[in-house]
Each structure stands twice: as C-alpha cells, then as structure tokens.
C-alpha cells in the first residue's frame, strides 16, 4: 500500500512538471519517458490525432538506443495510421478504450491487428503492449499512447491491471498539458506566418526543421560535455521555440529590401544586418527563460566562429539607427547562437527557395566541413555529423514537398 501511495505521489509531482513545459515535442518526450519508467517498459510511442489519422509524434526505444545511441525517434515520422478498428492504436482512438495485450504476435479473434512492418523497419520484436487514449476533459481523443515490452529481470512480461490504472491516470493529466503545448506551438507558428508575409523563406516547415535540428544538435553537444540529463531536457524545452523564432526580427525590415530580386546594395545589406537586433528587442522585457533564450538566439544566430559575422558587439540594442559592432568570436557567441547558425544555414542551402534551387546534399555537407572553424563552431559541426541520420529524418518529416 505504501508503494502504491508513493507511486501516485510521484505521478502528481510529474504531472505538475508537465503543466510548466512549453514545447510540445519536449513535453511528449517527458510524458513517454515517465510513463515507461512507471511500467518498466522498454519502448513506447505517442500518436497525435490529425483529422481522421494518427501521426507518430514521438518514439522511444531503449533496446535500439543501446545499438545506436542516436535512437532516431523520427524513424516512423512519415507514417500515419487511419483511425478505425483495424489497428491497435486506431482501435483505441476510435473507441476510447484501452488495450492490454500480452503478445501482439498472438492476437486471435480481434478486429484489430498488429502491423509488423514497424518492427521490421526498426529490427525489433514487439511483444507486450499497453495502449491508452489521450483524452481531454471534454471526452475528445487527441491521441494515443502506446507502451511496449514491460521488462522484469530482462524478460518481457505482460502489463498488469495496476499498470493500466497508473497509465490511464497519467494520460488524463498529460492530455491537458498536450492541449496547452499545442496551443503554444500554434501561436508560435502564427507569429512565423507574420514573418512569412514579409520574407517568403520563413515558412512553417523551415522553422520546424531549424528548431528540430537545433535541439538534436544541442542534445549531442551537451552529452559530449557531460551535462546532467535533467538540465539538457529543460534547455531543449525552450531552445526549440527560440530557434523557431530566430528570424522574427525581419518583420521590422522593409519589403523593398526583403523581396528585392536583385543583389542588395551595401546600405540595404546593413539594414538586413540589423534584423537580429530588432528580433532581440521583441523579447527584451524578459519574464521567462523562453524570452531570454529567444532574444539570445535572435541576436547571435548570424555571428561566426571566426568573428566575421553580425551584428557583433552592439552597445545599445535600442539605439536607432542600429550601430553594428565588431563581430563576436568563438565562445563569446552563446551555444544557442552557434547551433542555430549551423541549423539555419544547412536548411537554407539544402532547401528550394524562390530565388534558388536546392544545393545537392554532397555540396551542402562539403560546405559545412569547409566552414568548420570559420563560420561554425568545430564542436557543433562534429555533433551535427554525429547525428546526421536524425537530421535527414527531420528533413523528411517537415518536407516542403507533398508526401506521396
């Protein structure tokens, strides 16, 4: 009884943490991690509902992570599941009923089945599964959480009724936090749309990619520096949103300059060089870590490791006109700016723009290697290449091209 009470108290503490998280992806990561801890599960997935489909939104798998520490959570991101009674997740989303299955490969006399394609793709064997709906207080299913392979003494065992009660309790609280985080993401994307009206390259997909690249590069960099896991997760929660807003300062730049089809004059380019300062001004009345980091990213994402970037050391960001300073150099540039600099340049070069065709992947990667120690922090470049399969998967998830 004491153990049960302690587990419930721990759940309440965790759900309080969930309500303070801002970024939807960081939130899903924490939800899945904690649900797996409570059930001793090796793996799991969260699907979020979009119309009549479920989209893989987050995936964790400890077994695969032991083989490949990047544990590419984007591996399934191109897949979607129709909400009907033919699949496990689809059935739960359709009916609102949870499922507890000892071995999904031995299903009999059920309308739903387990799709083995996912196991074959990941070279994994799913066995015991606990699948619960993510349901709002209004009874609307917004997604599904699936916990996979409960392990005791290195052996896969079935989930218990107690596991189901705890996960259902956790899921109901998590659903509230997910709704709030999705609203925050929508507000951010609307801000991006305002920028897009001024600068056509600042699209929702572009900023989603840059935000995702940034947190994955940071994750590798931070682990190489042996930072505590708790601190890494907290920083990533704010970094993604800050990275998404890196160019919001362009709203203060004239359309005549932003949309000019010809080469900019030196005077016009000076105006462009001021946009990081305009962006930092938007977040200067800091009331949260998110404001502080957003200002930092905006102000520093065009600085270069060798000191040739802009806007440099600006004495007063409120002075008009903006007076550029000498470029920041090396570790004078915050790690957030060094990471977003690489993420932004990579995406700009490899993507199609109204004014250019995409560079080939080989050409882009050669360029990044050649700029190591010049434009880019060498350690950030190393982290980027260490997780390049994840970078590719993110690019596919937020592709500008229509999916087949």
pTM score, two decimals?
0.80
Query: 314 vs 182, which has greater pLDDT?
Result: 314
pLDDT tens track for 82-139? 999 999 999 999 999 999 999 999 998 899 999 898 888 878 999 999 999 999 878 8
Q: Lowest mean pLDDT of 17-26, 33-42, 255-264, name the range.
A: 17-26
pLDDT above 70 (res 66): no
Task: Give the mean pLDDT of 324-348.
Answer: 97
pLDDT tens track for 156-176? 999 999 999 989 988 988 898
Q: What percent of the chain has pLDDT over 90?
A: 58
pLDDT of residue 355: 67
What is the full DSSP assignment across 294-338? Answer: HHHHHHHTT--TTS--SS-S-S-TT-SS----SPP-GGGS-HHHH
pLDDT band at 294 (very low <50, low <70, confident <90, very high): very high
Query: 8 vs 357, which has greater pLDDT?
Result: 357
Task: Give the mean pLDDT of 370-383.
Answer: 98
- ω before 277 within 30° of 0 (cis)? no
Cα distances from 80 to residues 47, 55, 90, 282, in angstroms, run 9, 5, 10, 38
pLDDT of residue 26: 84
The residue from 22, 94, 250, 304 that is catalytic is: 250
pLDDT of residue 202: 60
pLDDT above 90 (res 63): no
pLDDT of residue 5: 60
pLDDT band at 403 (very low <50, low <70, confident <90, very high): very low
Q: Where are the domains of the chain?
A: 2-181, 199-397
pLDDT above 90 (res 343): yes
pLDDT of residue 289: 86
Q: How far apart are CA 73 and CA 60, in angstroms?
A: 6
Of 135, 133, 102, 105, which is closest to residue 119 (Cα–Cα)? 105
Residue 73 designated active-site: no
pLDDT above 70 (res 200): no
Q: Under CATH, which architecture does the 2-181 domain have? A: 2-Layer Sandwich (3.30)
pLDDT of residue 354: 65
Q: What is the 3-state secondary structure (H, E, C) of 37-90?
A: HHHCEEEEEEEEEECCEEEEEEEEEHHHHHHCCCCCCCCCCCCEEECCCCEHHH
User: In the CATH hierarchy, which top-level class contains the domain 199-397?
Assistant: mainly alpha
């Amino acid at each position: 009884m004491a153990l049960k009470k302690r587990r419930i108290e721990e759940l309440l503490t965790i759900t309080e943490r969930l309500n303070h998280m801002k970024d939807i992806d960081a939130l899903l990561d924490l939800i899945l991690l904690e649900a797996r801890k409570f059930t001793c599960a090796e793996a799991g997935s969260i699907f979020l509902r979009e119309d009549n489909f479920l989209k893989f939104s987050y995936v964790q798998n400890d077994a695969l992570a032991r083989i490949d520490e990047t544990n590419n959570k984007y591996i399934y991101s191109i897949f979607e599941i129709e909400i009907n009674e033919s699949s496990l997740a689809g059935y739960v989303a359709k009916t609102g009923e949870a499922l507890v299955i000892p071995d999904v490969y031995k299903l009999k006399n059920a309308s739903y089945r387990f799709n083995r394609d996912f196991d074959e793709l990941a070279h994994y064997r799913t066995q015991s599964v606990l699948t619960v709906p993510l349901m709002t207080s209004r009874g609307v299913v917004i997604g599904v959480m699936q916990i996979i392979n409960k392990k005791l003494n290195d052996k896969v065992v079935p989930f218990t009724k107690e596991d189901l009660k705890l996960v259902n309790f956790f899921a109901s609280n998590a659903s509230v936090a997910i709704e709030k985080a999705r609203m925050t993401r929508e507000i951010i994307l609307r801000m991006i749309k305002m920028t897009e009206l001024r600068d056509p390259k600042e699209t929702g997909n572009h900023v989603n990619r840059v935000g995702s690249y940034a947190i994955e590069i940071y994750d590798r960099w931070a682990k190489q520096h042996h930072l505590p896991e708790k601190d890494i997760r907290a920083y990533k929660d704010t970094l993604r949103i800050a990275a998404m807003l890196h160019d919001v300062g362009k709203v203060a730049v004239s359309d005549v300059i932003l949309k000019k089809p010809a080469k900019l004059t030196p005077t016009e380019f000076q105006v462009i060089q001021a946009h990081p300062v305009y962006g930092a001004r938007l977040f200067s009345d800091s009331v949260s870590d998110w404001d502080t980091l957003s200002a930092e990213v905006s102000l520093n994402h065009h600085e270069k490791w060798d000191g040739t970037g802009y806007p440099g050391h600006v004495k007063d960001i409120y002075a008009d006109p903006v007076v550029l300073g000498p470029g920041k150099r090396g570790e004078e540039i915050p790690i957030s700016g060094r990471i977003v600099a690489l993420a932004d340049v990579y995406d700009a070069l490899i993507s199609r723009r109204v004014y250019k065709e995409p560079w080939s992947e080989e050409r882009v990667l050669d360029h990044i290697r050649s700029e190591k120690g010049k434009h880019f922090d060498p350690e950030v470049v190393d982290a980027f290449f260490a997780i390049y399969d994840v970078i590719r998967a993110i690019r596919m998830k937020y592709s500008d091209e229509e999916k087949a």
